[in-house]
């Protein structure tokens, strides 16, 4: 059996495991049930894929996400692993081919939807040598989760039917109730549990108090411009908001697509494809988007509206930066969204749970301490220091004595008999003349206009803080009107003083004046950036010609490692993280060519490179036939390379190259007459490659020839 680390190097081109992966893999290979909790991007796939490659037979991976299945199959094949998917979105002929290939033992991994698994379970049990069963997105089994799927409940049958096969449950959902539910509901027996860290330190966190529509747009435009070759997601609350955002971005000249539940399936698929293959720079989506997206080079995620709970939020921002490279998560926070969400909650099935979840989300948005610590504490993970990669860490708040300011707001609320919500209260404080004010005669209230010196955004921020501090409360049952608490009353009477955080306006770049991306010629700040752009362009060309997504060719992390290592020959290229044997064979020439040109070297590799390439592929475990196939040359040529390598003493084990019978035949001819051996064997119809190889072996062993 090959070892897990050998497989990791050979097929994936990675040099080491991430925390947990090796333990998980060894437990599964040892036949133990396993529960894996890791955040999105943590590297769960490898945890079942490597046991699948090590163990004899076919691994069955149950996944609810068809798009993700197809993606994974594509990525596996790009690494040289035989995989197939079975689901209802594919014609029955293909499904049937997949099942019969599995039965013949020709697949290492079979992805299947839960519905199809239940349908085909008997057949699979009878015909396929199943090595392991992995249940992806295992949180779908829990009613406590945010993504319950009834069919998952039936999967307990898997453990009963395949009782000698290890079952793995994998999920990125971390809340405690769900965890326990998963293990119980699947009937796992004494499972090995791995609870990975949910920290995603490469994602920077930022919350911006709603700066208004125009500035939001210019902020998003800047994100797009700062990452012209990458992509991002803007999550919006409703279909309409999604479409509005999409149209605005199109108007500004950006390549945007739209994605929401109101679109036809075909339209949605088209949008998703455009995003995945990089045609679109940005997708404006409702939460329905992204479940099936394995795109590793999403560099930023904007939440245009606050999500209803931390789980969803974390999963959505987790779609950025899966490759471990820096990524940004930005949340635009508007108190009005809390009110909208609050009304959803009141209509929902599990009011109490959902209300609490929303309140936690709100606390996150309004926090003035390290945001990552808030997130991690939500997932019961201890974090003992500030992260340094969130807005609060980067610029800690300053405070001031806010007593007078609070008194102004509180007395405005009291004088209008607690009859208004936050926006009207702010209008009164700022002395506006709109119709509500005039109709209700608020301009005659004594506090009218006492807060003219502050902007509406400043007032928003301060009133929110007053709510957080417990001076004011929002009457959710009474149209969200503001009312003072007993603590607030003491502040109005001057019995208590309070501190507020100084309002901080977020920096925005100048808006609107930027040119549409296509029109401007890129200027690179550094040589590294320039090379990265060239490599991305090359990757895009390869992806287009092979009809696969760019990140399946190479991830951003792999390209970044190329920028770092600057491989100008095959040996160095093989050392780049993410370059496995198949990708080495298929893509090295092209990428090395680009790097050589960039470095001012002749584009073609020095003489002898092809032999070296054969050697590296041979060393990585490929057979001469496989090498010939990936290099697109005749097997004879590969054999002559291997003969040359034998002459140089680089190869001493010939069992994978030539049979002892063939060696004996060549030896006999040489012993008869070394000078005419080649000719006489050719006349007998022996392949010239075999003759060359046989001669090299005979020379190596007996010193003759």
Residues at the site binding ligand ADP, with contacts judged by CB under 6 A:
14, 17-18, 21, 38, 40-46, 294, 296, 322-323, 555
Nearer to ligand ADP, 548 or 628 (CB): 548
What tokens were used for 76?
């596996």
Nearer to ligand ADP, 294 or 420 (CB): 294
296 binds, among Zn ion, ligand ADP, none (CB under 5 to 8 A by kind): ligand ADP
Shortest Å, Cβ 374 to Zn ion: 9
Nearer to ligand ADP, 8 or 429 (CB): 8
Residue 111 sits at the vertex; the CA angle it makes with 146 and 271, to the nearest 5 degrees, is: 65
Beta bridge partners of 167: 133
40 binds, among ligand ADP, Zn ion, none (CB under 5 to 8 A by kind): ligand ADP
Nearer to Zn ion, 92 or 398 (CB): 398
Closest CA to 557 of 4, 2, 11, 13: 13
Shortest Å, Cβ 46 to ligand ADP: 5
Shortest Å, Cβ 138 to ligand ADP: 12
Shortest Å, Cβ 101 to ligand ADP: 24
The C-alpha atoms of residue 208 and residue 332 are separated, in whole angstroms, by 5
372 binds, among Zn ion, ligand ADP, none (CB under 5 to 8 A by kind): Zn ion
Nearer to Zn ion, 390 or 432 (CB): 390
Shortest Å, Cβ 226 to Zn ion: 21
The footprint of Zn ion (CB under 5 A) covers: 370, 372, 386-387, 390, 393
What are the two backbone dihedrals, phi and then psi, of residue 61, each rounded to the nearest 5 degrees? -115, 115
Closest CA to 622 of 102, 104, 80, 105: 80
The torsion angle over the Cα atoms of residues 135, 137, 142 and 148, rounded to 10 degrees, is -120
Closest CA to 225 of 513, 11, 472, 499: 513
Say whether 32 sits in a helix, a strand or coil. coil
Nearer to Zn ion, 322 or 371 (CB): 371
323 binds, among ligand ADP, Zn ion, none (CB under 5 to 8 A by kind): ligand ADP
| Contact predicate 57/35, CB 8 Å | no
The C-alpha atoms of residue 202 and residue 541 are separated, in whole angstroms, by 28
Nearer to Zn ion, 204 or 362 (CB): 204
Cα dihedral sign, 403-406-411-412? positive
Shortest Å, Cβ 324 to ligand ADP: 7
What tokens were used for 582?
């198949």
393 binds, among Zn ion, ligand ADP, none (CB under 5 to 8 A by kind): Zn ion
Shortest Å, Cβ 4 to ligand ADP: 10
The torsion angle over the Cα atoms of residues 271, 200, 44 and 74, rounded to 10 degrees, is 30
Shortest Å, Cβ 655 to ligand ADP: 31
38 binds, among Zn ion, ligand ADP, none (CB under 5 to 8 A by kind): ligand ADP
The C-alpha atoms of residue 445 and residue 627 are separated, in whole angstroms, by 85
14 binds, among ligand ADP, Zn ion, none (CB under 5 to 8 A by kind): ligand ADP
Task: Quote the crossing angle between the two packed helices 239-251 and 213-226, to the nearest 10°.
Answer: 60
E-strand ranges in 304-387 read 327-333
Nearer to Zn ion, 306 or 390 (CB): 390
DSSP state for residue 390 in the 8-state scheme: B
420 binds, among Zn ion, ligand ADP, none (CB under 5 to 8 A by kind): none
């Amino acid at each position: 059996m090959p070892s897990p680390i050998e497989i990791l190097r050979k097929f994936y081109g990675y040099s080491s495991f991430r925390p947990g992966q090796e333990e998980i893999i060894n437990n599964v290979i040892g036949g133990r049930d396993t529960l894996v909790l890791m955040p999105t991007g943590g590297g769960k796939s490898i945890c079942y894929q490597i046991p699948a490659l090590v163990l004899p037979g076919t691994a069955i991976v149950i996944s609810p996400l068809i798009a993700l299945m197809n993606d994974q199959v594509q990525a596996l094949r790009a690494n040289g692993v035989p995989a197939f998917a079975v689901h209802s979105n594919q014609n029955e002929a293909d499904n049937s081919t997949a099942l019969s290939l599995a039965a013949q033992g020709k697949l290492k991994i079979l992805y299947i939807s839960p519905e199809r698994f239940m349908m085909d379970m008997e057949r699979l049990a009878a015909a396929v040598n199943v090595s392991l069963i992995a249940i992806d997105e295992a949180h779908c089994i829990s009613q406590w989760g945010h993504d319950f799927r009834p069919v998952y409940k039936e999967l307990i049958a898997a453990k009963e039917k395949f009782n000698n096969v290890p079952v793995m449950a994998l999920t990125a959902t971390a809340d405690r109730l769900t965890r326990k539910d998963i293990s119980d509901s699947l009937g796992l027996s004494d499972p090995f549990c791995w609870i990975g860290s949910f920290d995603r330190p490469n994602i920077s966190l930022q919350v911006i108090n709603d700066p208004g529509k125009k500035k939001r747009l210019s902020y998003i435009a800047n994100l797009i411009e700062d990452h012209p070759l990458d992509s991002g997601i803007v999550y919006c609350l409703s279909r309409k908001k999604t479409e509005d955002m999409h149209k605005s971005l199109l108007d500004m000249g950006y390549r945007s697509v739209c994605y929401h539940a109101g679109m036809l399936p075909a339209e949605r698929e088209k949008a998703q494809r455009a995003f995945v293959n990089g045609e679109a720079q940005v997708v404006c989506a409702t939460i329905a988007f992204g479940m099936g997206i394995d795109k590793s080079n999403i560099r930023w995620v904007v939440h245009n509206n606050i999500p209803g709970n931390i789980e969803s939020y974390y999963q959505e921002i987790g779609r950025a930066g899966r490759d471990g490279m820096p990524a940004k998560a930005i949340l635009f926070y508007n108190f009005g969204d809390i009110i909208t969400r609050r009304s959803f909650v009141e209509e929902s099935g599990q009011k109490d749970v959902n209300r609490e979840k929303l309140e936690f989300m709100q606390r996150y948005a309004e926090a003035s301490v390290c945001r990552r610590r808030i997130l991690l504490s939500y997932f019961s993970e201890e974090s003992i220091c500030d992260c340094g990669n969130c807005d609060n860490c980067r610029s800690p708040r300053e405070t001031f004595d806010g007593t007078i300011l609070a008194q102004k707001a509180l007395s405005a609320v009291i004088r209008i008999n607690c009859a208004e919500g936050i926006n009207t209260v702010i209008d009164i404080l700022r002395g506006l003349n709109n119709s509500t004010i005039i109709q209700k005669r608020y301009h005659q209230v004594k506090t009218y206009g006492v807060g003219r010196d502050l902007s509406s955004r400043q007032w928003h921020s301060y009133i929110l803080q007053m709510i957080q501090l417990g001076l004011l409360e929002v009457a959710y049952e009474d149209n969200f009107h503001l009312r003072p608490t007993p603590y607030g009353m003491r502040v109005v009477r001057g019995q208590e003083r309070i501190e507020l955080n100084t309002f901080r306006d977020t920096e925005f770049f100048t808006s609107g004046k930027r040119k549409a991306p296509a029109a401007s010629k890129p200027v690179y700040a550094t040589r590294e950036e320039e090379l990265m752009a060239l490599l991305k362009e090359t990757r895009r060309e390869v992806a287009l010609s092979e009809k696969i997504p760019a990140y399946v060719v190479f991830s951003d992390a792999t390209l970044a490692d190329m920028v770092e290592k600057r491989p100008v020959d095959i040996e160095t290229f093989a050392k780049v993280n993410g370059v496995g044997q198949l990708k080495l064979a298929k893509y090295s020439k092209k990428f090395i060519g680009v790097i050589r040109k960039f470095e001012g070297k002749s584009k073609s590799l020095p003489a002898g490179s092809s032999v070296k390439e054969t050697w590296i592929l041979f060393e990585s475990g490929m057979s001469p036939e496989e090498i010939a196939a990936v290099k697109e040359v005749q097997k004879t040529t590969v054999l002559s390379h291997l003969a040359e390598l034998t002459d140089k003493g680089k190869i001493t084990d010939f069992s994978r190259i030539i049979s002892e019978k063939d060696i004996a035949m060549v030896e006999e001819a040489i012993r008869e007459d070394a000078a005419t051996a080649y000719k006489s064997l050719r006349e007998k119809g022996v392949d010239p490659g075999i003759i060359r190889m046989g001669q090299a072996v005979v020379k190596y062993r007996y010193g003759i020839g």
